């Protein structure tokens, strides 16, 4: 490998690891995410993890391009670091999940409600909620709480779901480019170990229409991200982008059809027995619009905003030839 790229790769990976380590503050409690999940069942976990599930999926589909221009006959390489952040609203700091349950599982024979149905309410801080609060699981019979159990605290109080990754793009032959994202398995503190890989390809459509006053391309991207022992996410995006270059600046915009999902697997440690929990949640964001800009000052600086279910921000530092 070219010595320039070898050193750039080391710098970018190190920068990504440092960015993630700085971006993931230590949780207030002593428990990591896997240990917190072991204390709750599926209903509680679905609400508790919601902003993490959807935020990471949306982050993966962020920052997939920084220009729509893909040369037809000029080989190029770009290597650098992309960082993404999805904003968590105040409504995503707490959750409430309500299920109908058989009260026989929660009250003794002869007690009011035994054999009838009631409401089981899981509520409290989400994984990114207030660290001073603890969730609860409460069973109601005709509006009267007949059973209460303590849930868990949040993992860490954050206003953004963060992600950073090195990225390598090679292209310029026949208007095609390929992009690789990769992070080695690394400790994310109380979140557990994180590993990340993604692959994308794009085609410069404007090569077919050279008289267009702007550049346009279409592309796709597929990614997988694993967090700790319990969470596996996958994401895909199909996008169209347009850009206009001015000397050192490139302005771009795009629209994407995207999807993501997270598989959650852990063992719930109950009072009497352990239960294997396995469920899959599909991401809520099906599409987005993006606007951004790239400055080419020898190294490229890139910033963009994405609009969908969550507002996402991305910044990149790229080296290329």
Partner 1 sequence: MKAKNLFKYAALFGIALIAAAALSGCSESVTPDDEITVTDEDVAHQSGYVAFAIAEVLPQMGRSAVAELVSLGTPFQGEFWHETVPNEHVWTDADHKLSLYIEEFDNTVVFEFDLEGLGDPLTVNGEGSMRMGSLYLAFEVIDVVVVGDMPVSGTIEIDSSNRIATITFDDGTATVTIGGLTFTIDLSDGSLIE
| Residue 226 interacting with partner 1 (CB under 8 A) | no
Long-range contact set of residues 12-18: C-beta below 8 Å, sequence gap at least 24: 12/79, 12/80, 12/81, 12/166, 12/167, 12/317, 13/166, 13/183, 13/184, 15/81, 15/164, 15/166, 15/317, 16/81, 16/83, 16/164, 16/165, 16/166, 16/183, 17/183, 17/186
> Taking the complex as a whole, how short is the minimal distance between the CB of residue 138 and partner 1, in angstroms?
6
> Taking the complex as a whole, how short is the minimal distance between the CB of residue 180 and partner 1, in angstroms?
29
Residue 10, classified by CB atoms within 10 Å of its CB into exposed (0-12), middle (13-18) or buried (19+), is exposed
| Residue 109 interacting with partner 1 (CB under 8 A) | no
Nearer CB in complex with partner 1: 79/140: 140
Q: How large is the greatest C-alpha to C-alpha distance in the chain, in angstroms?
A: 82
> Taking the complex as a whole, how short is the minimal distance between the CB of residue 321 and partner 1, in angstroms?
26
Nearer CB in complex with partner 1: 177/233: 233
Site string for partner 1, 282-311 (x = CB under 8 A): --x------x-x-----------x-x-xxx
* CA atoms of 281 and 53, how far apart (whole Å): 8
| Residue 204 interacting with partner 1 (CB under 8 A) | no
Which among 208, 221, 172 has a CA at the least distance from the CA of 74?
172
Site string for partner 1, 144-173 (x = CB under 8 A): xxxxx-------------------------
Point out which residues bind partner 1 (CB under 8 A).
46-47, 50-51, 54-55, 86-89, 91-92, 94-98, 107, 111, 119, 121, 123, 126, 136, 138, 140-148, 244, 246-247, 251, 284, 291, 293, 305, 307, 309-311, 313
């Amino acid at each position: 490998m070219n010595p320039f790229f070898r050193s750039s790769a080391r710098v970018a990976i190190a920068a990504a690891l440092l960015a993630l380590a700085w971006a993931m503050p230590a949780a207030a409690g002593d428990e990591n995410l896997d240990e917190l999940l072991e204390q709750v069942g599926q209903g509680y976990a679905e609400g508790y993890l919601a902003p993490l599930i959807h935020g990471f999926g949306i982050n993966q589909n962020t920052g997939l391009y920084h220009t729509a221009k893909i040369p037809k006959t000029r080989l190029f390489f770009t290597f650098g670091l992309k960082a993404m952040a999805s904003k968590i609203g105040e409504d995503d700091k707490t959750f409430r999940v309500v299920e109908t349950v058989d009260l026989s599982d929660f009250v003794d024979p002869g007690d009011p409600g035994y054999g009838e149905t009631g409401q089981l309410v899981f509520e409290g801080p989400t994984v990114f909620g207030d660290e001073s609060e603890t969730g609860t699981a409460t069973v109601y019979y005709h509006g009267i709480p007949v059973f209460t159990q303590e849930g868990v605290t949040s993992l860490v109080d954050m206003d953004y779901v963060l992600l950073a990754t090195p990225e390598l793009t090679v292209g310029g032959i026949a208007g095609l480019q390929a992009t690789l994202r990769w992070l080695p398995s690394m400790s994310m503190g109380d979140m557990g170990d994180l590993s990340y890989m993604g692959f994308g390809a794009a085609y410069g459509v404007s090569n077919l229409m050279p008289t267009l006053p702007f550049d346009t391309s279409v592309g796709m991207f597929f990614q997988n991200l694993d967090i700790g022992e319990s969470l596996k996410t996958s994401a895909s995006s199909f996008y169209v982008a347009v850009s206009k270059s001015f000397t050192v600046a490139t302005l771009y915009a795009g629209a994407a059809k995207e999807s993501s999902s997270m598989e959650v697997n852990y063992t719930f440690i109950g009072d009497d027995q352990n239960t294997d929990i396995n469920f899959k949640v599909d991401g809520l964001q099906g599409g987005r619009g993006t606007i951004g800009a790239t400055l080419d000052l020898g190294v490229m600086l890139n910033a963009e905003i994405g609009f969908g279910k969550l507002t996402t921000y991305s910044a990149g530092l790229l080296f290329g030839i």
